[in-house]
Amino acid sequence: MPSEPPCGPSVVALAFDGAPMFELSIPAEIFGLPRPDFGADWYRFALASIDGAPVRTSHGWQLSVDGDLSLFDRADLIVIPGWRPADPALPDALRAACLAAHTRGARFASICSGAFLLAELGLLDGRRATTHWLHAPRLAQRYPRVAVASDILFADSGDVLTSAGSAAGIDLLLHIVRGDYGVARANAVAKRLVLPAQREGDQRQFDDSLRAPLPSDRLAALMTRILAQPDEDWPVSRLADEAGMSLRSVARAFTARAGCAPGTYVLKARIARARELLETTGLPIERVAQLAGFGSATSLQQNFRRQLGCAPTAYRRNFTGMPVPAPGA
C-alpha cells in the first residue's frame, strides 16, 4: 500500500542560472526524500526558479523546476543556495517575492554565499549571520549592519538562518529538522546520511586564510619569518626591533596589515603550523606542540580549542583519519 503524501511544512528552494548543484541537492536530500517511516507528517519540497523555466547550474547541467516564484506564496521555509558575492543585486521579481514571503511569516535559510541575497534584502540587518569564511570579510564590508560571524557553522535568528560553506548547509538544515520535529527525527535523518547529527567544532578549523605577505618591506618580511619560524620566541619588543618601529607603531602596523595585534598574529602562526603538522604527520601531540611554539601539549590543546573550537586530536581525525599516537610514541 503506498504511503500517504507528506502534509507537513512547505519548503521551497530557489534555483537560478549558475546555482551550485551541491547546495541545491542538500535541501532536496533532507526535505525532499520520501520518508515513509515518519508518516505523512513530513516536509513538502519544491524547487522554484524566477520564471518557472529550467535553469543551468554552475556545473552546466540543465535542471527542471516545479514552478515559478508563486511557490513562495505558500512556503513555510525558503532555502537560498550560494548567491553571487561579487554582484549580489537581485531581480525585482525575486526581491518582491522574497519580501512578501518574509512579511507573511515564511522562514529563510541560506547556504554559503546565499547570505548575500538575504543581506541584499535587508533581512540580516541587526542580526548575527555567517557565510563561508572566504566570503565573510566581503559580507561584513558590504553590509556593515550585519553582525558577521566567520567562525560558526550556522546562525539561527529565528525567521532567518544562515550557514557557512556548502557542507555547513547540512548542519543548518538538520538543525531546522531538530527544531521542527525533535532530536530523534534529526538523528534519524543524519544516520541515513551517514553523518553526525551535530559536528564537533566550527568553521574556524577550515579557515586557512593566514598567508605570508609579499616581502615588500621590513614588516612583511618579519611576518613571513614568524610564519616560517613560529617556534621561536616572538615578544612584542623583538617584533618592534626587527620591524624598526616603536612598540606602539608595530602594534598599529600589525593591526593595519594583518587585522590583529602582534601577539595574536604569532598565535595564529603557531596554530597554522600545528594544523599543518597534524594534517601531514603522525607526530605525537607533545612534539607538535614543541614544533609549533606552544611548548607543551596542554598549551596547544587549550589554545587550539579556544581558536578552532575543537581538540588537536579531533582535528587530526577530521582531516586525516590518522589514529592518535599513544603518549610517548
Q: What is the pLDDT of residues 243-279, one digit of tens each?
A: 999 999 999 888 877 778 899 889 989 998 998 898 8
- The predicted-structure confidence for 87-100, as pLDDT tens digits, reads as follows 989 999 999 999 99
Burial class for 188, CB neighbours closer than 10 Å (0-12, 13-18, 19+): middle
Three-state DSSP state, 253:
helix
- The predicted-structure confidence for 112-154, as pLDDT tens digits, reads as follows 999 999 999 999 999 999 999 889 889 999 999 999 887 788 8
Contacts of 159 by beta carbon, 8 Å cutoff, 6+ apart: 102, 105, 106, 107, 108
| Cα–Cα dist 183/309, whole Å | 23
Indicate whether 28 pLDDT > 90. Answer: yes
Across the range 187-195, mean pLDDT stands at 83
Across the range 69-81, mean pLDDT stands at 97
Least trusted range by pLDDT, from 58-72, 173-187, 256-270: 256-270
Total Cβ atoms within 10 A of residue 202? 21
Instruction: Say if CB 236 and CB 202 are below 8 A apart.
Output: no
| Cα–Cα dist 252/236, whole Å | 12
Indicate whether 51 pLDDT > 90. Answer: yes
pLDDT > 70: percent of the chain: 89
Instruction: Say if CB 230 and CB 288 are below 8 A apart.
Output: no
Q: Are strands 154-156 and 160-163 parallel, antiparallel or unpaired?
A: antiparallel
- Which residues sit opposite 109 in a β-bridge? 79, 161
Indicate whether 324 pLDDT > 60. Answer: no
Task: Give backbone dihedrals phi and psi of 126, rounded to 5 degrees, phi first.
Answer: 75, 10
Across the range 31-40, mean pLDDT stands at 90
Question: If pLDDT is split at 50, 70 and 90, which confidence band does 320 have?
Answer: low
